[in-house]
Structure 1
């Protein structure tokens, strides 16, 4: 009968759904992100159902104003693909088993013919292969349509606690869809704090706002609620509007409570008129009935009477001179004081009557308080303190004033007779505070005078000193001056007498002549400028004890370092300090900026630069930091002072490299390979370039010209001192103009540089050159492929240095013949 009754209720409620007006097509209401499982991990589809969280996740949505059909449903999970909705014998058995869990009056049904009625609530389970006991349906109190995704996804569809956002979208086509997004980091445990725990659920309102909670292992089913409203405030006899809200399958509802009347107690929103007995806070009850019985909630109504304001602190109040009081009024509404000030606080600094008016929700009331003028406590006491008490005597302490007297023993009389030494006090109290007086009653003992000055007492020249004595009683000095302090400006004996409560005493004080204050002086026993390794003796002078800043207390000290030396001389009349500065001249040092070597390039001049803190003199007598030289040699800079001298030397070298090279050919057809024979002199480094572009830093150089044109091949020869020279030959590649290059000099001295005479030609078919001495004797005949002339006369002897004649005949590629002649100079 229980199942039949629930089924009937489910059918009735499903029939009722289309009558519910909605302004949306479909909306996601809740997602159970972290479903409960009874087993362990779920590595594959064959894992037992109760171990797979991915088969037991759920979410709930609500249908809008029009019916929908499951056949049109598509779900876009955050993870995994949608497998479609299954409705078969397995899902029917699942539904029946789940309904057995329901303890309230709710019911689970599968759709008929796939129709989801307007206004219906639908729960989607992520697999028909679900675990029935994993997530409870016991609290279901409404009819819920249940859908099962077809088996196939055993992994999770949602993402549990972590980072990032996840979005689920459902769609029925035709623009009918709903999307819900949640933040994984806001998922909570059952304790309500962010973290990972089974049962994490996210609810969504119609605007898609997410609300995070964790009801444990309970399915995300709708919960029936009744809300009577927030507390209301009312004055007696008022008329108030009440409005309740119910959410769930309630069939009727009714208001009750109070002594007044409802316009319509069966309407959720109605008017309530307060009754005569509604004079203090009371409650109105909203009761709603569903299949589980009656659910109630109460609305608190707070009665606001015409409250009389209360002023604190309570009066009457006394205002002490120079003070102020802050008056605070309490009540509901706005406050206006008779001073014109508004607000619940008022600071007053004058006596008078102060009134506050309260404009409350139920009328206007007022309260007043009187502030009177108070007196500052004034305490009059006698005798003065301290007082000496002789043996067997007593002293009467008296006090009076504008308040209550209390002695330190708790008595409140105006006098207190004390007969023993000690500390005694009296306090006067009134509304404006307290005043206290303290007496020190000491044992007078025997009359005795104590000198407080450091002894012996020394008076320095031109100064004065205060003699200070202590004791109980009155002091009289030899000139009749009274008091415990006496100023003297001359050495001698001074007498003071003491009138003691218990007798008399006298003391003679001897003031000694301390002489003049010391004058410190330091006398150097030599120069105050000492070189490194030297010293000077400093002699101290002055009357008193010596203390040098070196720590020595001797009359003289020997110092070896520059610095400031001080001497403090101290005696009874003070101290004096003298100081002296010991300096150390700069140690002679001179540095030549170019180092130890420099070079003069190609007969030019260079400027040597020297630096020093002292005047500089060069070896040629020139004074100053620079010296321009144009000849190689050894140069030095010299400085000196009283601590010695220093000399810096530099060797200036002759840097005159000569760049020269020969080419294996000056012209030819492309590709045209040319070998360049480096014959430079006095050079250490080389740079070859073609038309200004760097090619190589080798000593000798070969280059292939692959394009037609005229090319300048340049050799830059540099020595170790940085001096350089250049030599350039022009190479014609692919341009065959006849060219004959005949050197006009060579140096056959056997040094491997320019030792032979060689003719260089381009675009020449053949040539012959003959060389003669000045008397016409033939010395050499050569042509292409013949050895170059090395200055031999052809008979095994070398010719002497001088000028020789040559005649050269050549035939170019076109068969034209030409003759060239000139001279050659030999020097070794």
Structure 2
């Protein structure tokens, strides 16, 4: 075998060994290259490492409503990786899982495969109890204790957290009277919490002091008086200046300590300080004005120096703190009084911007020819601090005006430069497209009751309209230069002729409908014809005495006998006529006197008197 073939055979064997044993370290060999003067070194490269998986997540359930999740971290092999779970899901991680065993097959891009089984444990009870609680000897003595016992759980390790800061201890000692809690957490982060109380074996007592600070004029006017409540009397007192009374007085500046013991042996130690008077100096360190009109987020911070504590703060709004929060706009006066009785006053003003308002308006523009409508809504903004941010309920922003094409509620939110917000809503109507004009018509009749169809000059006419509900306004044009806005106007033509009377109605969108009628006006003719006899015999011919007239606006008639007795009266243009009776009694034949008075359409009043013969 030649040297070259030996080298090739060697390379082939090394390649087989590398694939068979998945060599992890890079390898190299020497090979003959015909283009060179001898052997050259050739690197085989490093094979990919085996697939490995790190599993994390929530692998145990704490209760029956709990759910677990699995997080996979894959290394080795050649990415990318594919995942296939036993329920055919192909995600890398799983969530919202019940207890059970989950199997995943992981395959890299070279076909290497890894199988991983993960168990999510079912809920396992964690039962803890307080094993012993020891009360404190006195209310102020830290000698209480408590012990927690883990009766049942998944096993060590457990994390124990006490509410006062102690960790990983089953027993807590040195506890003051009060309410405490302890939390036990197992290895899967499931926990149980207990709350307990450390009581006091002896009744607690409290001490309240009243300190009289030194006045500016007397350096020995300090005093301390005590008020004891609770505990078991009698009490003993021992002051740091040697006094054994409950109260001390006539003392100068300095710190005074007192030990108070009740009959049960419980002791309270208190320290009080009497200070020398000093001048109170007050300045405004910060003012936060209201960001929005009408808000209550103003703040005042005061810097106070000097004076004799305690300082008493009295604000004009009733507050007693040094600083104020949640303020409306206005002027606030502060009076500070120290323990020596010295006072100082100051004023602070909290301001606010002009009220931010947004007024929504809308209109409908209608193409009266096509019937197509377009709605417009716009917002008028005042106050606040510009620039403003405008956001419409439709999602549009930065516009003062939008277009709408359906009825409903329009909403706009305006935010000014300081974050103040105002929201306005407007309910709008919107017509259907291709609107049909509403009905409009009118009739003409005489104001007076008359059977004459002709219309004469100066004769009042009533124009009775028939206007549909779609119209909100209307106007009349009588063709003689006169107009009217009434719904049913009365008009008088002052000269004869033919007149085009026009009624025009307008709907809410500004579109109009028109109805016209021709009215012919004749010259005035006035006449009254009074019969001189009648025959009330019931034959239907000339049975009543009734004058005939034309061109009148009023007519009155009275009938008398020769003795002046009033027998009959008629008022108005509807003349029923006299049938020759009086109060239902037939009158005898003979002559009777009539008296008529009428008014013409020109306004002239005429009176006539005569006789009429009743024939039977």
Alignment TM-score > 0.5, same fold: no
* TM-score using structure 1 length: 0.21
* TM-score using structure 2 length: 0.27
Larger radius of gyration: 1
